[in-house]
A and B are shown apart, each in its own frame.
Chain A
Amino acid sequence: MIDPYVRLEALDMRYPGHHAVKDLSLDIAGGEFIALMGPSGCGKSTTLRMIAGLEQPTSGRILIGGQDMTHVSADRRGTPMVWQNLALFPFLSVEDNVAFSLKMRGDSPASRRRAANEWLEKVGLGGMGKRHISQLSGGQRQRVAIARALVTQPSILLLDEPLSALDAHLRVHLQTELARLHRELKITFIYVTHSQSEAFALADRVVVMADGVIQQAGPPRAVYRAPVNGFVASFMGMNTRMDGSVAARSDGMIWVDCPEGRIAVPDTVAAGPGAALSFVIGADRMRLLGGHERAPEGHPTVAGRVVGIEFVGSTQTIFVASDTGRDFRLQRLDLGDDAVLTPGTPVTLTWDPRHAWVLPHP
């Protein structure tokens, strides 16, 4: 990456009895849409609040646009944030909420009003400036919060789980809206979320965090298909993890001895015979074998029984317990044949061994 716009250097945040962020370094390019994700308590919100200047890191540096901002107070950073609970000012009108930062900056009342209404127009709330916050719906309030943060035309927008308080329908709608704003404004968006679907849908790059440490950073597809460790693999969710020990190497494949038998995986790591090895297979890479169908040469097969089916609209997820006691997941287009796959039905799973992904770090 050339010329990062935001640079976090060895950030450390310690609270009494809690080490929230550990030696975190991250470069974010100008105009990038980056998503920090992870389970609650992983340090993603603390990292965002440190960028905004609302928390003072115990050690490390924060550079924005080449300037050291570590000790600059929050009101001088120009890093507006959209809050999880919105934090709109209930005693101000919609217009005055949006114009707040302009007022703090000392703009004249006339230019404040003009800019605020321009932004309300842009987020689809034209003509609502005089309303009271309590008269708005949840989605409208969310738009006010976004307009309020963007009215000063910042070069960075911070978003702290901005959609988590909305219902599913609105969430998808505002997600599209945010993507459009990012395209049009071309500024840096730093987005904190625990939702994988939001992060994948919006971000150029996702950063998976756990225990105050970055586990993996990269484009959504890379993180999804090639998790670096067991944590990221299980956080991505839609896959099955298998463990075994290395038996042999041949033709660019490693043969792994698992309870399910000897299974081939791509040879992407240096591991000697006998070494423990873990790999994952994406749920959408799994396939059920038909009644008398035989798996292609070299493709592993695992016998088990259906545990349950989850219907997710156009796709379905089938949960299978293998005879060895491992839980497998299979995702496929909804074929409408649920009737034959009642719980307890014996099935055989198979996959292309080239689609297995060996975890570099278990």
Chain B
Amino acid sequence: MMRAVIRNLYLAALAIFLLTPMLVVVVFSFDANRFPTLPWGGFTLAWHREALGDALIVSAMWNSLIVSLGTAVLATILGFCAAYLDYRYRFFGKRSLMLVIAVPPAVPVTILGMAMLAALSRTPMFGTPLGVIVCHVAIAVSFAMALIRLRLGDLGDDLEQAAWNLGASQRNGLLHVVIPFCRPSLIAAFCLSAAVSLDEFMVAWFVGGVNETLSVRVFNLLLGQVNPKINAIGTLVLATSLVLVSIAQMSARVGGTRKDAA
């Protein structure tokens, strides 16, 4: 009894600690006060309206949408290919290749941003949304691959061989058995990659040039003046990320519970 109370108090404290900063942003985005101060100045949607009316912010949203969608699509495809490569084949240098795929998230982002800037500045991709996508894919693909590889581990050897045995070519086996089996993890990888890209600032700032993503726009706004619009954008970004990560988590869980069905 006492134990349960202590445990629940601890969990509540943890949740408050994690959520408070985000909650502050959300609360003050609806506050009529110009500056985030107490007491609460009354409910308003003015800052949201103003943010959505700002041409720079809207164009940054479009950029973010394009970049995160592009990242999600490419990272999921490449992540699947890498995971399948690791699952299915044995070849010289496999460990090194997998290490290279896994390493980008572990590198400090400033260094990653500088490196990507140096690499991209010599290509026509520099300063375009495509450039940002390429860099974000490099980061997100390791998460995508990890998620999909986990699912492939549950596939075993038999299902794919059973497909061949029942007349499926290698291509059809991949298409009709391996990919459907991995679908929950593909959805999870897609959403997580989109979220990673949406939230990423440093690399986008280094290589994006004039094509600001939302997080870069927020940074540039902050350089000017403190503006409640920032809280409004923050709320929107937070909501989107939450939805993406929730879908990712739920999909990953579906994958886990179904594995014993065969």
Q: Which residues in A have some Cβ–Cβ distance to B below 8 Å?
A: 52-54, 73-76, 78-81, 83, 85-92, 100-101, 103-105, 132-134, 148-149, 152
Contact for B262 among A87, A100, A105, CB less than 8 A: A87
Kindly list chain A residues whose C-beta atoms are within 8 Å of the C-beta of B223.
Answer: none
Kindly list chain A residues whose C-beta atoms are within 8 Å of the C-beta of B166.
Answer: 75, 80, 100-101, 104, 148-149
Q: How far is the CA of A105 from the CA of B169 in the complex (A)?
A: 10
Q: Is the Cβ of A105 less than 8 Å from the Cβ of B167?
A: yes
Q: Is the Cβ of A80 less than 8 Å from the Cβ of B261?
A: no
Q: How far is the CA of A86 from the CA of B159 in the complex (A)?
A: 9
Kindly list chain A residues whose C-beta atoms are within 8 Å of the C-beta of B262.
Answer: 85-90, 133
Q: How far is the CA of A73 from the CA of B173 in the complex (A)?
A: 13
Kindly list chain B residues whose C-beta atoms are within 8 Å of the C-beta of A78.
Answer: 167
* Chain A residue, CB-CB nearest to B172: A104
Q: Is the Cβ of B158 less than 8 Å from the Cβ of A85?
A: yes
Q: Is B209 an interface residue (CB 8 A)?
A: no
Q: Is B121 an interface residue (CB 8 A)?
A: no
A-B contact count (CB 8 A): 80
Q: Is the Cβ of B167 less than 8 Å from the Cβ of A134?
A: no
Q: Is the Cβ of A104 less than 8 Å from the Cβ of B258?
A: no
Q: Which residues in B have some Cβ–Cβ distance to A below 8 Å?
A: 156, 158-159, 161-169, 172-173, 176-177, 180-181, 183, 258-262
Contact for A132 among B169, B181, B261, CB less than 8 A: B261
Q: Is the Cβ of B159 less than 8 Å from the Cβ of A89?
A: yes
Kindly list chain B residues whose C-beta atoms are within 8 Å of the C-beta of A89.
Answer: 159, 162-163, 177, 180-181, 262
* Chain A residue, CB-CB nearest to B182: A91
Kindly list chain A residues whose C-beta atoms are within 8 Å of the C-beta of B183.
Answer: 91
Q: Which of B161, B166, B172: most chain A CB closer than 10 A?
A: B166
Q: List 6 A-B contacts (CB under 8 A).
A: A74-B164, A75-B173, A88-B261, A88-B262, A100-B176, A134-B260
Q: How far is the CB of B221 from chain A (nearest CB, A)?
A: 46
Q: How far is the CB of B161 from chain A (nearest CB, A)?
A: 5
Q: Do A75 and B169 form a contact, CB below 8 Å, given A85-B262, A86-B262, A90-B261?
A: yes
Kindly list chain A residues whose C-beta atoms are within 8 Å of the C-beta of B258.
Answer: 90-91, 134
Contact for B165 among A74, A105, A132, A133, CB less than 8 A: A74
Q: Is the Cβ of B158 less than 8 Å from the Cβ of A83?
A: yes
Q: How far is the CB of A119 from chain B (nearest CB, A)?
A: 13
Q: Is the Cβ of B165 less than 8 Å from the Cβ of A52?
A: yes
Q: Is the Cβ of A79 less than 8 Å from the Cβ of B165?
A: yes
Q: Is the Cβ of B158 less than 8 Å from the Cβ of A101?
A: no
Q: Is the Cβ of B158 less than 8 Å from the Cβ of A74?
A: no
Kindly list chain B residues whose C-beta atoms are within 8 Å of the C-beta of A87.
Answer: 158-159, 161-162, 262
